Amino acid sequence: MTAIPTPSQLAQIDDEKLVLLATSWRTRAGHGDRIAFGVAHALEVERRRRLRQSQLDQLPPEPMAPRPWWKFWQMSPSDAGGGPTLT
C-alpha cells in the first residue's frame, strides 16, 4: 500500500489487521514518511468509523418519553395492569 486506500479497499480489511496497519503506518509517519501520513489517517478514520458503528449497535432502544410532572395522577394501561386510565 503506497497510496491512500479507497473505501472499497478499506472495507476488505478485517478489524484486527486494520488496527495493525494503522499503527504501523502511524509509526512510519512519525519517522517522517510524508506519504504515510495520508495512509495512516485513512486507516484511522476507517477504524473510528467501525468503532462508532459497533457502539451504536450496542445502544438499548430509545426509552419512552416520561409523562409531564403535572400529570402524575394519570397512569398508563401498562402501569395499572390494564385497568382504566384516570383523566
Annotated domain spans of the chain: 7-59
How much is the pTM?
A: 0.59
CA 32 → CA 35, 39, 73, 80, distances in Å? 9, 13, 68, 68
Confidence band of 25 (pLDDT split at 50, 70, 90): very high
Q: What is the mean pLDDT of residues 61-80?
A: 68
Closest alpha carbon to 2 in 49, 44, 42: 42
Average pLDDT over residues 13-40: 92
Taking 90 as the threshold, does the pLDDT of residue 71 lie above it?
no
DSSP 8-state symbol, 76? -
Report percent pLDDT > 90 for the chain: 34
Task: Give me the mean pLDDT over the 45-67 stretch.
Answer: 81
| 33 three-class SS | coil
pLDDT at 43 over 70: yes
